[in-house]
């Protein structure tokens, strides 16, 4: 038998191999196996948590299960805001099939230029990108029918507001994440929003759910919210306000309607307004809830409080005569004027013709502290206690800082400021037997319990004066309605510009109640900067008050308290301001 290899003839094979070399090779292999075992032990036992977390980060996801936001209803159960399914479209750019024809169709369905869509999909390093949030369900179905790889949808909801711009400033709106941003949507966001659920899943690299892990946490839907607002009264009030702003070529306007018995807010409307679910190109002028955020010097609408205090303290009676001739009065060097010289006037007539001189002479009989306490008790200088964002407190300086001329001007509404909402609430003092009552945006059928400011006798006496002011010979006869007795006070004031007053810019308003003997509603109207020729509150705001009062009382089923007679147009007495 011959060998194929002659070991003795090969120098390489014939040389002696060092023993340490073989031992080294065996030791290196053994050490490698020990290292692998140690690494395996570290991964499996010692560092398990880290690697488990890394795996979860890459493949395990917690999916939110959105809760259905609660509805907002008016006092009669009509829907003011509700949520509807609105899928959101997203993509994994690196997986998208760049079929030009299908991408063109997708861009059309998403209502975006193809260039913009391609830009969103251009970065292939991205594993997630929103294409469009909250599309209509039919659109989502058409997108799914395209069968584009890498395009997905996520279940979401969007809000709808059936009453549109008429009630926008009350209801407000939500953002794309379904969080309240304004109005009731913001104030009651927690109650309406509910609580989202969750679902733990494992996804593959394509974003597809492979397996559910653990138990699902079901979402808790938000609660429905019933407001005190009557959507029919709200819509009518908004229409009449809008018409008045447009016809008077005014800058803006607001109207507030309160239930004089329960303190419920029946309507709060502003113009200009906006459509809550279509907010493109929206401006701050549209968004601002002027009835609560804008303050102004209330002017003559403050006179009933000054007279009420004088009556309540026994300093005057309704028939006390005040000499207002020659139509002016000087206080510490400053002269206060009436629009016309009236001569002797009873206290009732001081309110009827809105005499600054008469009001001033009555006010100067009283300590500044008493006036400040009465104004404060009626809610001036204090933020309204109402669940609504943006409500302001206005301004009422401490009585210790009042100079005599300031006490005089404050008696007829200059030197302090208030919002239209504050003015409306303050008149509950006269409608509710001398009590200032709390107001609410939530439905509340029980009569409100308030804090006594004037005696019931004084409140009734002032109501009679307000009826005279809204009747023949008063400053607001255009406030009268068919079938219902009304009472109220008009106001007109120059607008403040810087540290002074503009000579050609006015705010016109009217605040009152009806029926006068047993008031059911209070209505306050303000028109900002009318420029069509008329600017007195009795000419600009009183007609809106009249229409809103008449329609509101009919909608509430209030029985007329006056015989229906042919209406005669009566010229309003020009008010002093």
The SS3 assignment for 211 reads: strand
Q: Which two tokens stand for residue 30?
A: 């053994």
DSSP state, residue 254: E
- The pLDDT of residue 150 is 82
User: Is residue 310 within 8 Å of 366, Cβ to Cβ?
Assistant: yes
* Average pLDDT, integer, range 16-39: 81
For the ranges 33-47, 353-367, 376-390, 406-420, the lowest mean pLDDT is seen at: 33-47
Asked whether residue 200 carries a pLDDT value surpassing 80, the answer given is no
Nearest Cα to 528, choosing from 503, 505, 545, 548? Answer: 505
User: Is residue 479 within 8 Å of 545, Cβ to Cβ?
Assistant: yes
Confidence class for position 136, pLDDT limits 50, 70, 90: confident
Q: What is the radius of gyration, based on Cα positions, of the chain? A: 37
For the ranges 151-155, 376-380, 462-466, the lowest mean pLDDT is seen at: 151-155
326-352 pLDDT, tens digit per residue, is: 999 999 989 999 988 899 999 999 999
The whole-angstrom separation of Cα 397 and Cα 404 is 14
Highest mean pLDDT, choosing among 27-36, 281-290, 522-531: 522-531
CA distances to 162, 317, 408 from 361, rounded to whole Å, are 53, 14, 8
For residue 300, indicate whether it is catalytic.
yes
More confident site: 111 or 362? 362
Asked whether residue 570 carries a pLDDT value surpassing 60, the answer given is no
The whole-angstrom separation of Cα 27 and Cα 388 is 80
- The pLDDT of residue 504 is 83
- The pLDDT of residue 524 is 97
Domains of the chain: 62-226 (3.90.1310.10), 231-275+286-555 (3.40.710.10)
For residue 420, the surrounding DSSP H or E stretch is helix 420-426
DSSP state, residue 473: T
- The pLDDT of residue 19 is 72
- Whether residue 305 is preceded by a cis peptide bond, meaning omega within 30 degrees of 0, is no
More confident site: 427 or 491? 427
For the ranges 1-15, 536-550, 555-569, the lowest mean pLDDT is seen at: 1-15
Percentage of the chain surpassing pLDDT 70?
89
Asked whether residue 506 carries a pLDDT value surpassing 90, the answer given is no
Place of tokens 């206005």: 394
More confident site: 269 or 26? 269
Asked whether residue 210 carries a pLDDT value surpassing 80, the answer given is no
Asked whether residue 170 carries a pLDDT value surpassing 60, the answer given is yes
Query: pTM of the full predicted structure?
Result: 0.82
The whole-angstrom separation of Cα 166 and Cα 345 is 43
67-83 pLDDT, tens digit per residue, is: 888 999 999 999 999 98
144-164 pLDDT, tens digit per residue, is: 888 888 888 888 888 899 999
Confidence class for position 560, pLDDT limits 50, 70, 90: very high
* Average pLDDT, integer, range 213-226: 82
- The pLDDT of residue 331 is 94
Confidence class for position 495, pLDDT limits 50, 70, 90: confident
Annotated active-site residue in 88, 231, 254, 300: 300
- The pLDDT of residue 211 is 59
User: Is residue 485 within 8 Å of 519, Cβ to Cβ?
Assistant: no
The SS3 assignment for 371 reads: helix
Asked whether residue 214 carries a pLDDT value surpassing 70, the answer given is no
- The pLDDT of residue 208 is 62
């Amino acid at each position: 038998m011959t060998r194929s290899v002659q070991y003795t003839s090969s120098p390489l094979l014939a040389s002696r191999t060092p023993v340490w070399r073989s031992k080294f090779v065996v030791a290196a292999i053994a050490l490698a196996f020990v290292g692998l075992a140690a690494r395996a032990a570290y991964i499996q036992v010692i560092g398990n948590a880290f690697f488990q977390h890394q795996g979860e980060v890459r493949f395990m996801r917690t999916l939110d299960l959105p809760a259905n936001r609660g509805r907002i209803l008016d006092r009669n159960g009509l829907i003011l805001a509700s949520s509807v399914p609105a899928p959101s479209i997203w993509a994994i750019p690196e997986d998208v099939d760049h079929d030009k024809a299908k991408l063109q169709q997708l861009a059309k369905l998403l209502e975006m230029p193809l260039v913009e869509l391609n830009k969103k999909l251009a970065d292939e390093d991205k594993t997630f990108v929103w294409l469009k949030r909250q599309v209509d369900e039919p659109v989502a179905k058409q997108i799914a029918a395209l069968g584009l790889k890498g395009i997905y949808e996520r279940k979401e909801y969007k809000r709808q507001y059936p009453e549109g711009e008429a009630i926008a400033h009350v209801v407000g709106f939500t953002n794309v994440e379904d969080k309240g941003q304004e109005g009731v949507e913001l104030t009651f966001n927690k109650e309406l929003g509910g609580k989202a659920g969750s679902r733990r899943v494992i996804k593959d690299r394509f974003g597809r759910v492979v397996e559910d892990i653990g138990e699902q946490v079901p979402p808790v839907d938000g609660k429905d919210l019933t407001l005190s607002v009557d959507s029919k009264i709200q819509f009518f009030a908004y229409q009449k306000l809008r018409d008045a702003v447009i016809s008077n070529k005014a800058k803006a306007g607001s109207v507030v309607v309160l239930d004089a018995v329960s303190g419920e807010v029946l309507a709060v409307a502003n113009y200009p307004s906006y459509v809550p679910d279509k907010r493109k190109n929206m401006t701050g002028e549209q968004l601002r809830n002027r009835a609560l955020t804008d303050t102004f010097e209330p002017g003559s609408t403050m006179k009933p409080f000054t007279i009420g205090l004088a009556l309540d303290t026994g300093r005057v009676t309704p028939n006390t005569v005040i000499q207002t001739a020659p139509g002016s009065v000087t206080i510490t060097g400053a002269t206060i004027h009436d629009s016309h010289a009236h001569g002797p006037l009873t206290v009732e007539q001081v309110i009827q013709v809105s005499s600054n001189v008469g009001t001033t002479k009555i006010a100067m009989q009283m300590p500044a502290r008493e006036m400040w306490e009465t104004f404060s008790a009626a809610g001036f200088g204090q933020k309204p206690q109402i669940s609504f964002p943006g409500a302001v407190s206005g301004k009422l300086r401490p009585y210790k800082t009042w100079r005599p001329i300031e006490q005089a001007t404050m008696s007829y509404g200059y030197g302090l400021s208030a919002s239209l909402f504050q003015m409306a609430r303050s008149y509950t003092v006269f409608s509710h037997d001398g009590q200032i009552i709390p107001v609410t945006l939530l439905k509340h059928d029980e009569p409100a319990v308030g804090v006594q400011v004037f005696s019931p006798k004084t409140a009734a006496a002032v109501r009679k004066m307000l009826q005279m002011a809204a009747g023949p010979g008063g400053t607001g006869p255009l406030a009268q309605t068919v079938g219902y007795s009304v009472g109220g006070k008009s106001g007109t004031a120059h607008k403040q510009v810087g540290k002074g007053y503009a000579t050609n810019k006015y705010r016109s308003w009217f605040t009152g109640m009806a029926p006068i003997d047993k008031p059911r509603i209070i209505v306050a109207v303000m028109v900002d900067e009318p420029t069509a020729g008329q600017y007195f509150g009795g000419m600009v705001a009183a007609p809106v008050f009249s229409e809103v009062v008449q329609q509101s009382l009919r909608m509430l089923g209030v029985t007329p308290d006056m015989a229906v007679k042919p209406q005669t147009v009566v010229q309003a007495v020009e008010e002093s301001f």
